[in-house]
Structures are given as C-alpha cells and as structure tokens.
C-alpha cells in the first residue's frame, strides 16, 4: 500500500512502488536464441525423392520428343509407300503369305522330330489293328449294305415317279376334251392372224382352221378408159 510521508524540509515524498507494467513495456526485447536460426537439412530419402522426380520430368520430355519424331517418320513412310503403289491390302497379303511360310517351315521341323515320328507310328499301328478287327469288318459290311439298299430304293422311287408322270402326261394329251380345246385355240389364232393380214376365212372352213394355206387372187390391173 502506498503511504505519504513528510520529509524534513516539509516536502512530500511518494514512497509507492514503481509501476511494473510500464517498466516491462519500456524494456528492450531480448535477442533471439541461436537455436531458432538453425534450418533442418533434408534427409537422404527426401533428396532421393527429388532426384527421381526430376529424372521423371526429363524422361517425359524425351518421350514427347521421340513421339513427335516417330510421327514424322511414319508420315514420310506412308508417302513413300503411296508413291510405290503399296496399299494396306498388299501389306496384309504379304504378311499372310509370310505367316503361312513360317507355319509350313515349323510344321516340317515338327515332322522331323523323333517324338512326332513315334506318335505317327503308334497312330498308324492303331489304325491297322482297328481296320483288321472283326468288329470293324462287320460294321463296314453293314454300312455298305445299308448304303446299297438306300441307293436302290432311291433309284426305284425315281423311276416310279418318272413313269407315273409320263403316264399322266399321255393321258392328258390323249384326252378328247383337251384335243378339242387345242384345235379351237389353233383355229382362233389362225383367224386372228388372217384378220390382221387382211384375209378372211369362213367359220365352217375346217381346212383353213387346220392350217392350210389360203390363196388370195391377184388384183386385176385397171385399164384407163
């Protein structure tokens, strides 16, 4: 607590304690410690990561350049092929032919191997045994007999159908009604033809209807009076 006292000379003196707040604000700041200025160096792993990222960016740039060069070369190749008359279909045919030749050569190489020869010999032996067996011979004979009977039946059916058709055709042809219809059609056609040509035929003239030639008299020359 602050107290006021009177001095010997009659003057008042202030014995209160000093203001702590004002003293603190007036004091200069202490300098920073040396530890605050120290920067942490990157670790070896971080340095390796940065190196890899930089290498990746370089590779991407190089790949882009190579891609552009490849595009230019491909366009140049297309122009050269066009001038030579080489079409995509021609290239396809050549690739197919080359593939077939490669397959043929591989097949020859396979045939020359010992494993292929042994397998072929085994298959040939099994085939000979199968064909010489009694069961195979019976089956083969049965199939041949069935085939022969089937062929005979088909041949007989064809002959029967042919004879039936021929008989029916002759019956229709020899039918009196059909013959009269044919004569009437021929007569009508002759009459129409004669009318178009300017000649006339009597309706009861059967000889003309049968196709006899009609003689038209020549016109008499006219004499001037």
Tell me if 40 is assigned to some domain: no
Span 178-194, pLDDT tens digits: 777 777 888 888 888 87
Q: What pLDDT shows up at residue 40?
A: 62
Tell me if 121 is assigned to some domain: yes
Region of 27 (left: φ > 0; alpha: ψ -120 to 50; beta: rest) is beta
Residues 6+ apart with CB under 8 A from 116: 110
Tell me if 12 is assigned to some domain: no
Spans in the chain with pLDDT lower than 50 = 1-2, 7-8, 11, 20-22, 24-25, 34, 200-204, 206-210, 212-217, 219-220, 224-225
Look up the domain containing 102 and give its range: 46-132
Can you point out the beta strands (E) in the chain? 4-6, 12-14
Q: Which residues pair with 12 in a beta bridge?
A: 6
Tell me if 64 is assigned to some domain: yes
Tell me if 1 is assigned to some domain: no
Contact 11, 1 (CB under 8 A): no
Tell me if 111 is assigned to some domain: yes
Q: Tally the domains of the chain.
A: 1
Contact 187, 204 (CB under 8 A): no
Tell me if 81 is assigned to some domain: yes
The token pair that represents 56 in the structure block: 């990746």
């Amino acid at each position: 607590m602050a107290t006021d006292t009177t001095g010997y000379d009659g003057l008042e003196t202030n014995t209160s304690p000093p203001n702590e707040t004002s003293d603190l604000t007036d004091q200069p700041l202490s300098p920073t410690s040396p530890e605050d200025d120290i920067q942490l160096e990157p670790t070896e792993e971080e340095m390796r990561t940065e190196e890899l990222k930089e290498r990746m960016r370089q590779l991407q740039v190089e790949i882009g350049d190579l891609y552009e060069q490849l595009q230019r070369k491909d366009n140049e190749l297309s122009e050269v092929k066009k001038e030579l008359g080489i079409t995509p279909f021609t290239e396809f045919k050549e690739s197919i032919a080359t593939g077939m030749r490669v397959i043929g050569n591989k097949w020859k190489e396979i045939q020359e191997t010992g494993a292929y020869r042994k397998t072929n010999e085994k298959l040939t032996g099994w085939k000979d045994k199968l064909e010489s067996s009694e069961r195979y011979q019976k089956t083969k004979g049965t199939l041949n007999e069935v085939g022969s009977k089937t062929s005979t039946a088909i041949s007989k059916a064809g002959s029967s159908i042919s004879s039936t058709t021929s008989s029916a055709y002759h019956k229709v042809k020899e039918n009196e009604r059909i013959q009269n219809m044919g004569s009437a059609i021929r007569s009508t056609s002759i009459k129409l033809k004669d009318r178009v040509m300017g000649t006339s035929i009597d309706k009861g003239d059967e000889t003309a209807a049968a196709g006899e030639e009609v003689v038209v008299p020549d016109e008499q020359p006219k004499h001037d009076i």
